[in-house]
């Protein structure tokens, strides 16, 4: 399973928390790239709820991590 920031961005608006099946359904309906669907299919089938992208890709950093507060400088 290989995630990139671009692939993960397709799941940022997913209905969290979600199961693997719900994420697959969302990805198919939203027109996500095949790589996103393949990565989701590789998740373990345990019926677990995923609270966010961090549960799927622990190294995920949100877009907020790339901005700084201009008022601080």
Which residue do the tokens 């671009």 mark?
6
For residues 65-70, give the mean pLDDT.
52
Contact 47, 6 (CB under 8 A): no
**Nearest alpha carbon to residue 14 among 1, 25, 2, 3:** 25
Tell me how far apart the alpha carbons of residues 73 and 66 are, in angstroms, rounded to a whole number: 16
Query: In this predicted structure, what is the pLDDT of residue 66?
Result: 46
- Mean pLDDT of the chain, nearest integer: 84
Domain range list for the chain: 15-54
Tokens for 41?
Answer: 């299919």
Cis amide linkage into residue 17, ω under 30° from 0: yes
63: confidence class by pLDDT, cuts 50, 70, 90? low
Q: Is pTM, for the whole model, over 0.85?
A: no
């Amino acid at each position: 399973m290989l995630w990139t920031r671009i692939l993960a961005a397709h799941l940022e608006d997913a209905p969290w928390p979600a199961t693997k099946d719900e994420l697959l359904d969302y990805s198919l309906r939203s027109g996500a790239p095949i790589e996103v669907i393949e990565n989701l299919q590789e998740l373990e089938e345990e019926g677990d709820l995923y609270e966010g992208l961090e549960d799927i890709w622990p190294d995920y950093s949100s877009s907020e991590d790339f901005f700084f507060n201009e008022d601080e400088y």
